Structure 1
Amino acid sequence: MPGVIAVVGHHDLTAPTPALLEEELRSRPAGRARAGRAGLVRAGQGLPVACGRAARAAGPALVTVLPARRGLPAHVAEPDRKTAGELLLSQTVRLVEYDPADRASCITADESLVRSCGRLPAVWDGSPSNGRDATAHLVAYARSHGVDVEVVGPCGAEHRGGPPATAPARPATARGTAKSPKSGTFTEKRIPT
């Protein structure tokens, strides 16, 4: 659907990063609100709630995706319950069959969201997908399905990924032009385990 904007990105954001993303995203959808666009987020903490708050502040409709089993709402994991509750204040809730505890199931759900959108802001540092993070896969998936991808990364944004990636130059959008975040780059922060 060309009027829907889905957002994907790293799920292991450091504490200050969601606020930075919210501020960055707040300015981006403002012009799209007049065009009747809607924001689409999968319920959870971090990136989804930052996107939901930005969408509400800028005016476009917000669609919150909840996990479902056999057509009924499914259990939302403890860390995501509070933010899922905040996101349920959105105008629309969409149930999608997936298990939030199963990585493959979440990726399949995210792929279905990507296929249903016309534009995909991606909070991504350019690193490849790994056993925990599928952001690079979702960006490639979107591009292969003709979805316009815009990489978002405000200055100071960090995530707790593994070893720092030697990120290539900013990835190109689906139209082939290089897009770099206006306000800075997204960095990876090593957190000792």
Structure 2
Amino acid sequence: MIIAVTGHQRIPDMVAAFVRDGVRAYLAAYLGAGGNEVNGSRGDGNVLVSCLAVGADQMVADIALDLGYRLRAMIPSHGYESTFDADGLASYRRLLARADETVILDFDHPCGAAYMAAGLRLVDECDALLAIWDGFPADGLGGTGDVVAYAGRCGVPMHVVWPQGVRH
């Protein structure tokens, strides 16, 4: 089973536990489902595909790795590390070192087009999309709302984790 994650970079403290618990429950439900052949999956075990951005991406990657998922890092561009603060960069590098596969898209620098391309590729390669999303449109090109909208147009199964009525 290949699950991709998209989500907000800023998760308010008041919802972080709710999100963590919801993510863990969702990912745990697929343990042992690695033999499914949905959207071309070959049953090589459970895989999480993530851009490893701060916030939701890194939170979900940590949980997935703890549960025994393999990690495929989908890096939007060369120079992506320049978008992180010191703490985010340390987490990014730690998770990247644990990735079983790393894909770097052919963009010279981080930009909206690179983020959008990465989001589209996440959806195209997954069996299901896990969205840490408040339901509002994306703040910029390639944001969570854009990725969710694309997944909806493609008919990709999607699970949203976010408490109702809270904006990121």
TM-score, with structure 2 as normaliser: 0.77
Tell me how many residue pairs correspond in the alignment.
153
Cα deviation 1:34-82 (Å, max 9, x = unaligned): 122211111221111100111022222222223454xxxx451242421
Contact 2:7 2:55 in 1 (8 A): no
The structure whose Rg is larger is 1
Structure 1: unaligned runs, 5 residues or longer: 154-183
| SS of residue in 1 equivalent to 2:81 | coil
Residue 141 of structure 1 is matched in structure 2 by: 150
1:118 equivalent in structure 2: 127
The answer as to 2:3 corresponding to 1:5 is yes
Measure the CA separation in 1 of the matches of 2:24 and 2:17.
Answer: 10
Give the match for residue 21 of structure 2.
23
Cα deviation, 1:158-193, whole Å, max 9, x if unaligned, reads: xxxxxxxxxxxxxxxxxxxxxxxxxx426116xxxx
* 2:94 equivalent to 1:86: yes
Q: Distance in 2 between matches of 1:109 and 1:42?
A: 7
Bigger strand fraction: 1
Is 1:32 the counterpart of 2:11? The answer is no
Unaligned runs of 5+ in 2: 35-45
Cα 1:132–1:138 shift into 2, 3 Å: closer
Is this contact kept in 2: 1:64–1:90, CA < 8 A?
Answer: no
- The 8 Å contact of residues 4 and 122 in structure 2, kept in 1 or not, is answered as yes
Say which SS state the counterpart of residue 56 (structure 1) adopts: helix
Where does residue 187 of structure 1 map in the other structure?
A: 166
Find the aligned partners of 1:48 and 1:130 in 2 and give their Cα distance: 16
- Greater per-residue helix proportion: 2
For 1:187, give the aligned amino acid: V
Please tell me the residue identity of whatever aligns with 1:81.
Answer: L
Equivalent residue for 2:52, pick from 8, 29, 43: 43
Distance verdict in 2 for CA 1:42–1:99, change over 3 Å: farther
Letter matched to residue 76 of structure 1: E
In 2: Cα distance, 1:131 partner to 1:75 partner: 16
Q: Percentage identity across aligned positions?
A: 25
Which position in structure 1 is the counterpart of 2:138?
A: 129
Say whether the 8 Å CA contact 2:3–2:49 is kept in structure 1: yes
Relative contact order (C-alpha < 8 Å, sep 6+): which is higher?
A: 2
Whether the aligned pair in 1 keeps the contact of 2:115 and 2:143 (CA below 8 Å) is no
8 A contact 2:74–2:118 mirrored in 1: no
Cα RMSD, aligned residues only: 2.4
CA contact (8 A) 2:49 2:73 kept: yes
Q: Deviations over 1:16-35 (max 9, x none)?
A: 65554233211211131212
Deviates more, 1:4-13 or 1:74-83: 74-83
